[in-house]
A and B are shown apart, each in its own frame.
Chain A
Amino acid sequence: MKDEAVISESWPRTTLRRFTAGAIRQAVAGFINSAAWTLAGFSLLLIVWGAFSGISQGALPGPLATLKVLWQLVSHPFYDNGPNDKGVGIQLLSSIGRVFIGFGLGSLVAIPAGVLTGASETCKKLFYPLVQLLRPVSPLAWFPLGLAVFKHAGEATIFVIFITSLWPTLINTAFGVASVPDDHRNVARAFGFSRKKYLTKILIPFSLPYILTGLRLSIGVAWLVIVAGEMLSGGIGIGFFVWDSWNALSLERVMSAILLIGGVGLLLDRGFDLIARKFSYA
């Protein structure tokens, strides 16, 4: 028994191997490799884009013209010349704000509803048909309802995001909760865990990775929907900016907005991925 303890003392050294010179070199090489491929991909995009721009004889703005406009936009992001002329930073922040409010409210409903759906057979029978019916509906279809109830386009957009954020989170949470292994349940039973302890020490920790996956999917879809929602609602936001730019016949601004929307979406996704990694226990 002493011997085994001594042998087992030495095992953590293996984790150190991750940080040896060879491993660092490998990581750097890997990074350079993937950066090179990314760069190649972007170059390809620029070539195709330029070609199309050339074919369309300038109807579609080329990469250079777009980047010039994009640079103008991002170098003065927060100017405010009245309701119809605001910097792109203000537009983006307002969209992000709405996404987070709608997404936050949606998550507050979806996570508990998901826990109930996953934990109770009755709730599953009750909620699942509803979810299946409503999930395929484009969230924009809820926009008129939001307008009717809230009388304001801004609130209606938040309502649309709220609806959007429900489904992926609810479904993933329910799946996570329903798949708590018997082994873990038996531990709770054998040692007489209270309901609270079961919830906080087994059910939530086990389902957390599933919940976070749901949240990540939700915020992704919410970010997709906000652009369309704001095109409908008008007023302010990156979606409105896109529509406004089209009305002002500036496709350079539309293209710039597309690049910015993609960038923000990527950042949101990476952010949630980072959080999810923090909470993965495997």
Chain B
Amino acid sequence: MKTKTPSPIQTTQYLQVRDVKISFDTPKGQFTAVRNINLTIGRGEIVSIIGHSGCGKSTLLNAIGGLVKPTAGEIVLGGVVVDAPGPDRGIVFQNYSLLPWLTVYQNIYEAVDSVLKNKSKAEKAAQVESFLQKVNLWGHREKKPSQLSGGMKQRVAIARAFAIHPEVLLLDEPFGALDALTKASLHEELVNLLQLDNQTDTVIIVTHDIEEAIFLADRVVVMTNGPEATVGEIVEVPIPRPRDKREIVQLKEYVEVRDRLLYLLMDAFAVPRRPAA
């Protein structure tokens, strides 16, 4: 819920992940995806979580979203312990997760209708329209998801998450399945949307793309390898936002961050090589 006058604690320690461990019961016994996760994120901060496949980064994001309950530890958002999904968090899922029988418009409308229960039909419709316009999909509103390209589907999913006016945006490998060009244009689109929202949104992006992690985030959280993964290192990106994709790659800071991340992912937390068969 929106707080009118945030206390300093709520600003700098807006989202806290404390000693979180997440395990699942499997037929082969308990499987621990992540453990000892500690993370403090300030309001309006953009954080990337990066790591190799299977490092539990999506699991951690789902826990912040309230879709998965931590086995131990707790997640505190704006002073309240997270134990379920809520309208203060908008989630963009890895595989778009649009409902295939609904049109683009309806997919967003149903989410808006659920979250903004007290608004009138006209207000909700206006909300849906404005976000469809912002992602340039108003002309495609009557289409079903199966008629859209991957990039368009993800824009619908992003519009859906933004349209409920969340305070925290959780993006789970949002651009993982897209080609490099579409990805780049969606990065800029995402940055524009965040600009329009006055940069008050706190954003967490799970990714395995180093460039994406640096371009979008203030800090990059590097996970160690799973199972039982944890936070390996947190790398600051000392480049002011908003950034220009073409310009930042020339910066010394960018190169340093990229080299550090490359070192961490390729050497320090490299996936152990399998012995040759």
Contacts and interface: CB of A to CB of B under 8 A. Distances in A.
Interface of A: 1-5, 8-9, 11-12, 15, 183-184, 186-187, 189-194, 197, 201-202, 205-206, 281-282
A256 to B, nearest CB: 44
A186 B172 CA distance: 13
The 5 closest A-B pairs by CB, nearest first: A191-B111, A205-B101, A281-B101, A5-B136, A190-B91
Given A186-B67, A193-B114, A282 B146 contact: yes
A186 B161 CA distance: 13
A8 B164 contact: no
B93 A192 contact: no
B93 A186 contact: yes
B151 A8 contact: yes
Interface of B: 65-67, 84-87, 89-91, 93, 95, 97, 99-102, 110-111, 113-115, 136, 139-140, 144, 146-149, 151-152, 160, 164, 181-182, 185-186, 188-189, 192
B151 A192 contact: no
B189 A201 contact: no
Nearest to A280: B101
Contacts of A1: 136, 185-186, 188-189, 192
- Report which residue of A1, A8, A11 has the largest number of chain B beta carbons within 10 angstroms of its beta carbon: A1
Contacts of A281: 100-101, 144, 146
Contacts of A15: 147
A17 to B, nearest CB: 14
A4 B91 CA distance: 23
A194 B136 contact: no
Contact of A201 (B102, B144, B151, B182): B102
A184 B97 CA distance: 6
Contact of B151 (A4, A191, A282): A4
